[in-house]
Amino acid sequence: MCGIAGFISFDGLPEGAAAIATSMRDVLTHRGPDEAGLHCDQFAALAHRRLSIVDLGNGQQPMCNEDGSVWVVFNGEIYNHAEIRRRLESLGHRYRTQSDTETIIHAYEQWGDDCVRDFRGMFAFVIWDSRAGRVLLVRDRLGVKPLFYHLDGSTLVFGSELKALLQHPAVRREWDPEAIDAFLAFQYIPSPVSIYRHIAKLPAAHMLVVEGGHARLRRYWTLPFDGDAWTDTEPVLLDRLEEVVTESVELRLMSDVPLGAFLSGGIDSSLVVAVMARLNRGRVVTTSVGFDEHAYNELQHARIVATHLGTEQHEHVVSPRVADLLPRLAWHFDEPFADSSMVPTYYVSEAARRHVTVALSGDGGDELWAGYARHRVELWEARVREGLGAPAARAAGLMGRYLPLRMKGVRSLRHLALTPADACARKHAYSFFEDGDRAALYTPAFAAETRDADPFRGFRAAYEDCPSPDALDRALYVDANTYLIDDIMTKVDRTSMAVSLEAREPLLDHRLLEFAARVPGALKVRQGQGKYLLRRLLERYVPAPIVNRPKHGFEAPIGYWLRTALKPLAGDLFFDGRMRNRGLLDVTAVERIWREHQSGAKDHRHRLWSLLMLELWFRECAEGTMTRRRAAEVAA
2 belongs to the catalytic site: yes
Angle (deg, nearest 10), helices 267-278 and 299-309: 20
β-pairing, 121-129 with 70-78? Answer: antiparallel
Q: Which of 492, 183, 137 is nearest to 349 (CA)?
A: 492
β-pairing, 259-262 with 285-291? Answer: parallel
Determine the Cα angle at 149 with ends 148 and 151, to 5°.
Answer: 165
**C-beta separation of 581 from 445 below 8 A:** no
Q: Which residues of 509-548 are buried (b: 16+ CB within 10 A; e: fewer)?
A: bbebbbbbbbbbbebbbeeeebbbbbbbbbeebbeeebbe
3-class DSSP state for residue 196? strand
β-pairing, 358-360 with 259-262? Answer: parallel
Burial of 633 (0-12, 13-18, 19+ CB in 10 A): exposed
β-pairing, 35-40 with 312-318? Answer: unpaired
3-class DSSP state for residue 139? strand
Q: Give 357-415 as a 3 state SS string.
A: CEEECCCCCCCCCCCCHHHHHHHHHHHHHHHHCHHHHHHHHHHHCCCCCCCCCHHHHHH
> Which residues make Cβ contacts (< 8 Å) with residue 59, sequence separation at least 6?
50, 52, 97, 98, 99, 101, 102
**C-beta separation of 85 from 42 below 8 A:** no
As a dihedral over the C-alpha atoms of residue 340, residue 179, residue 329, residue 5, rounded to 10 degrees, the angle is: 140
What is the Cα–Cα distance from 489 to 145, expressed in whole angstroms?
Answer: 8
- CA distances to 475, 476, 508, 540 from 371, rounded to whole Å, are 11, 10, 15, 20
What is the Cα–Cα distance from 397 to 402, expressed in whole angstroms?
Answer: 10
How far is C-alpha 91 from the geometric centre of its chain's CA atoms?
Answer: 37
Helix-then-strand count for the chain, H and E: 29, 17
How far is C-alpha 224 from the geometric centre of its chain's CA atoms?
Answer: 21
Q: Which of 239, 289, 236, 238 is nearest to 262 (CA)?
A: 289
Q: Is the peptide bond before 192 cis (omega within 30 degrees of 0)?
A: yes
Determine the Cα angle at 489 with ends 501 and 256, to 5°.
Answer: 30
Q: What share of the chain is helix, strand, coil (3-state, %, to 5)?
A: 50, 15, 35
Instruction: Write out the catalytic residue numbers.
Output: 2
